[in-house]
Chains A and B, each alone.
Chain A
């Protein structure tokens, strides 16, 4: 039954409704009320336009007009050996999703690592009944969709995704890798990946989300991840964007921190035609630390928008944001960072830095910090720079025999490395360095420093 062709007489809204109804038999019945409410909310909100303050610099018109259908099965399913391109090491726990659906065979792989006790790693659709209450109390509780059209859309189409729960006191040594792969189907497709990560008290884990797809194909990934971090717990989180050059990618990460918890999240955006990453961190207890890093490299007509919001609701917490963008040709980069310090959130230490490196006269970068501080004993700083390669440094390197292209790459790499150097997990850092190096357009060096 592969006769699902686009029907020109149907409006985009009708198509959406058709796809929504189609899921009713697929998604868990317990989700129906939530899905329906979110779908209705999306109907009211509609796609945001550049008249919305939060979307001033990023137009989603191409998504609204693309007549995308909920992705069906891929024409050619990915083979196990193709995963090698995306994995960081064999020493990782892995869940693989293809076109939004959990793929048990690919996830198991050749030799799946046994899960340590107290670690729950499952697809949201298959999560055993024992976790139903946990899911119920967290899913869609952190990523609110009232004023967020794409979160509403994701929630409306919630039927599968990843569920991670680290029980109290458990330290997971090996990284958990969630790999979301999109493959062309019968029509340009949309996937709504959903991730729920719960790290209970005194626990810690490393979680990587990778989003990847092929070049030369139009598709849309609309991802939402909710992360709940318990008391004295920590998560080392990575989000690797390796979408194809025709892809739209919109994502939301909601972080909710409890007392004395530590969050580090790295966003690496290395693909996609139009990318918008939203990070909302809610620091709702004392003694927390939240470090958000980002590296993005864009060329051609790529558009990359990183949209951060950190809410300091309680005293004695630190947050740090460091985002570095490399923009070539006609690429555009947007960084918006809002730091909110609630009344009484004294001794907040929040630091925000955004740096962009323009490699061409036609590349554009925009940086908009926003501080809203309602406490008086705090330290909040923000800094934004937009610059070009240092010609004197280029000359210095060339005068040592290094070719112009290599000198350029070394400087670009050095620029990005300020953020990459903060990647704690060695295999991830090595791989990210290599991926970034591959994307640098000049020179003959085949690898970065290391």
Chain B
């Protein structure tokens, strides 16, 4: 089986400061990977580089997505090819209604996939059904994108967008932050319902708690811009118990050995 995502020796910097220092990661269809790490380790940078944010510069390495060079693609092209980033801090867009925004996004992506645009009725039926999946208040659809949403509503809205756009590679950047336990469960259920043999999920998180509800196949620990440890789902529990210092000491030990 060909990997969906293959990251090789990825180096990236922002404003001349190197954040990612040689990431290697392979994600196959159907898998759920979690990237964990302390603040400042480069987790969110990795997520944003995958989505194509321009302020990060890739200085070395490669990213193959579905066999294609991801770094050659514009952010919208990546989205069209099935890459989705659930933002850590979703943007507020005054003057653009959520409904209009999501319709423009869905139709742009359908167009790239060679599908017809949905008519108004089909669209409304579809988004209502998807909103239910994450228990999103339908009234939010008529409000401007994320404007005045609570922290939890923003995160739900991100997963709702994901449910509408049906990505092949979903990257969740700190989706658990700002969610209470009930919201966390709902959002996790939504994500789980969207899992499938063709799709993969990359969960970027500081804490283990989201992984209680979205159980990963692999857990990677990112520190200082490198993946310093990989393992199964039990690694997340160990980290929760022993803290990141445990890996740090072990990593130092490895280097010093």
Interface range, B side: 20 to 34
Distance (Å) between the CB of A404 and the closest chain B CB? 7
Contact A401 B91 (CB under 8 A): no
A396 CB-CB contact with B under 8 Å: yes
B100 CB-CB contact with A under 8 Å: yes
Contact A414 B95 (CB under 8 A): yes
Closest to A448 in B: B100
Contact with A along B75-116 (1 / 0, CB 8 A): 110111000110100110111110011101110110010000
Contact A392 B91 (CB under 8 A): yes
With a cutoff of 8 Å between Cβ atoms, the chain A residues found around residue B161 in the complex are 400
Complex Cα spacing A149 to B90, Å: 53
- Kindly specify which of B6-14, B48-56, B187-195, B199-207 makes contact with the partner chain: B48-56
With a cutoff of 8 Å between Cβ atoms, the chain B residues found around residue A399 in the complex are 51-53, 75-76, 78-79, 84-85, 87
B74 CB-CB contact with A under 8 Å: yes
23 A-B residue pairs with CB within 8 Å: A390-B91, A395-B54, A395-B75, A396-B90, A397-B105, A398-B74, A399-B53, A400-B76, A400-B165, A401-B80, A401-B105, A401-B106, A401-B108, A401-B112, A403-B76, A406-B104, A406-B108, A410-B100, A414-B95, A414-B144, A445-B104, A449-B97, A449-B100
Closest to A418 in B: B95
Complex Cα spacing A55 to B87, Å: 48
Residues in B205-231 with C-beta less than 8 Å from chain A: none
Residue B108 contacts which of A390, A392, A403 (CB distance < 8 angstroms)?
A: A403
Contact A415 B95 (CB under 8 A): yes
Contact A396 B112 (CB under 8 A): no
Contact B112 A410 (CB under 8 A): no
Interface range, A side: 20 to 34
Distance (Å) between the CB of A411 and the closest chain B CB? 7
Contact B52 A401 (CB under 8 A): no
Closest to B85 in A: A399
Q: Which residues of A contact B (CB under 8 A)?
A: 390-393, 395-404, 406-407, 410-411, 413-415, 417-418, 445, 449
Contact A402 B96 (CB under 8 A): no
Q: Which of A395, A399, A407, A414 has the most CB of B within 10 A?
A: A399
With a cutoff of 8 Å between Cβ atoms, the chain A residues found around residue B102 in the complex are 400
Q: How many A-B residue pairs have CB under 8 A?
A: 82
Complex Cα spacing A390 to B75, Å: 16
With a cutoff of 8 Å between Cβ atoms, the chain B residues found around residue A397 in the complex are 93, 101, 105
Contact A398 B75 (CB under 8 A): yes
Closest to B161 in A: A400
Closest to B104 in A: A402
With a cutoff of 8 Å between Cβ atoms, the chain A residues found around residue B108 in the complex are 400-403, 406
With a cutoff of 8 Å between Cβ atoms, the chain A residues found around residue B95 in the complex are 413-415, 417-418
Residue A401 contacts which of B54, B79, B93 (CB distance < 8 angstroms)?
A: B79
Contact B74 A404 (CB under 8 A): yes
Task: Give the top 9 A-B pairs by smallest Cβ distance, nearest first.
Answer: A414-B95, A401-B79, A400-B105, A398-B75, A401-B109, A396-B91, A449-B100, A398-B76, A401-B108
Distance (Å) between the CB of B52 and the closest chain A CB? 7
With a cutoff of 8 Å between Cβ atoms, the chain A residues found around residue B94 in the complex are 414, 418
Complex Cα spacing A390 to B91, Å: 10
Closest to B108 in A: A401
Closest to B110 in A: A401
Complex Cα spacing A413 to B100, Å: 12
Distance (Å) between the CB of B87 and the closest chain A CB? 7
Complex Cα spacing A403 to B53, Å: 14
Distance (Å) between the CB of A345 and the closest chain B CB? 33
Residue B96 contacts which of A391, A395, A449 (CB distance < 8 angstroms)?
A: A449
Complex Cα spacing A413 to B94, Å: 10
Complex Cα spacing A414 to B144, Å: 10
Residues in B103-159 with C-beta less than 8 Å from chain A: 104-106, 108-109, 112, 144
Complex Cα spacing A396 to B161, Å: 12
Contact A402 B93 (CB under 8 A): no
Distance (Å) between the CB of A429 and the closest chain B CB? 14
Closest to A403 in B: B76
Complex Cα spacing A390 to B93, Å: 9
Residue A410 contacts which of B91, B104, B165 (CB distance < 8 angstroms)?
A: B104
